Each structure stands twice: as structure tokens, then as C-alpha cells.
Amino acid sequence: MKIAIVTGASSGLGAAFVRRLDALGGLDEIWGVARREGRMEALARELSTPMRAVGLDLTKSESIEQLRAMLKETGADVRVLVNCAGFGKFGTYADMTLQETGDMIDLNCKAAVALTAAAIPHMGRGGRILEICSSAAFQPLPAFNVYAATKAFLLRYSRALRWEVAPRGIRVTAVCPGWIRTEFISVAQDTKNGKTVRFFPFALRPETVARRALRDSHVLAVTTCGLPALVQRVASKFLPHCLIMACWEGLRRI
């Protein structure tokens, strides 16, 4: 049974990936993984490909073990894994609670790595892993510090993993877009000082990101899914990070 696994599938970018995978076809089943099972069940009714709505909290280790058991029990052939689950919170170190920072690290980093490790044994040649990072991964970002750091971790992890699984014919792509028009921004603002970032230029539609990311994942190790994030990526290689952070400090206050 050929399947795709998409985490964070209940809304936003995750749901866009599910719809795009359904449109591309070639799968026997799509597994959507998120806490909001009802939303995934509603999404499943839109699709032509059967979708299994798996309601799990990926910050809990037992959720990963449950998915590992499901893969073993079904004997599924994972053709695509999209690690889309994640969130950010705006604010400085003084604004973040220990719970917020811990949850960001657990979901954005720990859960992504654990699920990837669980899926790889069930992937064969031609399998693809898309780790949803962010253009925030390219440089430190004051007032968005922990989120940017988690995405920097995931970017480095993805690039090294690509080399490790290449002999098995599996491709890994780090997806690093800029702002996306989803619930992400409203969730990020729901914190003690959510107005520390107020400007969201060149925001992409989630459908655009999903389409470009799946296309690029056949070849590229890193995709930015758009020109602004590509410019940011290139600039981070040549400009001092202190200069980039100074520019960010000005932009986020507009």
C-alpha cells in the first residue's frame, strides 16, 4: 500500500499538501496526522484518494510509537513524508513562557526527527521527505528567536539526512518559504507580546508553497518556494548576520 504521511494536516499548509498530493494521484492512501481529528475528517470528504485521519499530539512520545506500530501493522510503503506540524510565537525571551518555548522545540524539532526516523524504514527508492522549515532558518531573528532557532536546526538536520539516505534512493528536501497566509500568524500573535512582529510582506498562499515544494522535492535539497525567501537565503550567505538582524528589527516594526 503506497501512502503519504502529512503532519499538521488539519489546516493551513498541511491541508494544502494533502490536497496537492490527492490531485497528483498515485497513492493508495493519505495519512493526515494532527490533534484536530474532526477537521481532517472534513478534509477527507473532499478528496478522491482515501485519507486516514490520525488524531495525535506529536509532542507526546507515545504518539510516535503509535504511528510506528501502524506502519508496521499495515506494511505501508511510505512514498512521501511531509513534516508540516509546527508553530511559532512572537516575542522576546522575556515574553516567552517555559511552556511555549518547550512546546516549540518539542514539536518543531523533536517530533519531526522522531517521525522521520520512524518512517524511513518503511520507505524505498524514490521516497521523498519534506521537512517544512522556514526562511527564518537562514539567520537569527530577535523577537522570533526560538522559532528561528528550531527551524535552523531542522534545516541542518534535513541537509545532513539527505546524504545519509541517498544510498537508499530517498530524497530529503528542506522547505524554507517566507510568510504564508495561514493560521500561523494568528497563533504566533497569541502570546504575551504578540505585536513584536507586525509586518508580513510577500506572504504566499499555502497552495503555492505545497505545489512548488512537491515539484522541487524531486531534485532540490532546499527550496524557498519564492523569490523573496531565495533573496533572503542568498543574502544570509554574504552579509553579516548583525546587518540582517538590524534590517529585520526595522521591518518588523513597520
- Predicted TM-score (pTM) of this structure: 0.93
Query: What's the confidence (pLDDT) of residue 106?
Result: 95
521537512: which residue's cell?
131
Phi and psi at residue 150, in whole multiples of 5°? -65, -35
Stretches in the chain below the pLDDT threshold 50: none
Query: What's the confidence (pLDDT) of residue 11?
Result: 85
Nearest to 28 by CA among 85, 72, 63, 78: 78
Query: What's the confidence (pLDDT) of residue 240?
Result: 92
Query: What's the confidence (pLDDT) of residue 189?
Result: 79
Mean predicted lDDT score pLDDT of the chain? 92
Summarize pLDDT for 74-115 with one digit per residue, the tens.
999 999 999 999 888 888 898 889 999 999 999 999 999 999
What spatial distance separates the first Cα and last Cα of the chain, rounded to whole Å? 50
Instruction: Give dist(CA 80, CA 164) in Å, integer.
Output: 17
Q: How many domains does the chain have?
A: 1
Range of the structural domain that residue 235 is part of: 2-251
**CATH code for position 10:** 3.40.50.720
β-partners of residue 55 are 34
Strand arrangement, sheet containing 2-7: 51-55, 29-34, 2-7, 77-83, 128-132, 171-175, 222-223
